[in-house]
Amino acid sequence: MQIPQQPISIRIPGAGTIRVANDAAGPDAMECVRWDPGTELDEPFAIRDGRVAYLRSITPAARPLIKAAMKKLSPETSRRRFFTVRHELSEAELDRMTNLDGWNQYAIGAVSVGADFALLVVDGWQHQGLGSALLLRLVAIAASRGIERFVGSVLSDNTPMFALIEHHAPLAVRTRGRDFDTVEFTLESHGIRFAA
């Protein structure tokens, strides 16, 4: 019996696909030639303060997240990881960190899933329940896509918007800023009221 010469794909549930080169020497001569993440690792992890982070395989899609995260590192955290204080990675370093073969090079990151939200109801339609309807539908759609947290910027004197948020998300955290306030809240499983 002749062994086929084309690569063979082996699917590993939750880990992706490993392609191996098959040659006439038989299975002992198989060698990993490519790893396709396919289904990313996406494992929820409850951190100590009650928030949920997702452990995910690092792929090229993580590049902008890593780039942004570098700017948020404290000097001490940066020094501990990079042996000096750095807030930027070169393009080549970002390539090395995100273009991994999944076999000899593999990395996992932790992310929280959140989204910015915005609502606008024109004047003639205000005070008719549309703001509530829009917010609740945004929440439902976001939750169905795995988004757990909303963050919004609201002018400090926008009392109707704060009333809407307080009604539907009584556990929302409001952080006062110079020009506007930031409002953050978790979605349905953490206390969003679906009453209109």
pLDDT digits (tens, 9 = 90+) for 83-133: 999 999 999 999 998 998 877 788 888 877 777 778 878 888 888 888 888
Q: How confident is the model at residue 188 (pLDDT cuts 50, 70, 90)?
A: low
Side-chain half-sphere exposure of 100, counting CA atoms within 13 A:
17
Q: How confident is the model at residue 40 (pLDDT cuts 50, 70, 90)?
A: low
What are residue 36's DSSP bridge partners?
17
What whole-number distance in Å separates Cα of residue 59 and Cα of residue 38?
A: 11
**Does the predicted model carry a pTM greater than 0.85?**
no
Which has the closest alpha carbon to 126: 75, 161, 89? 161
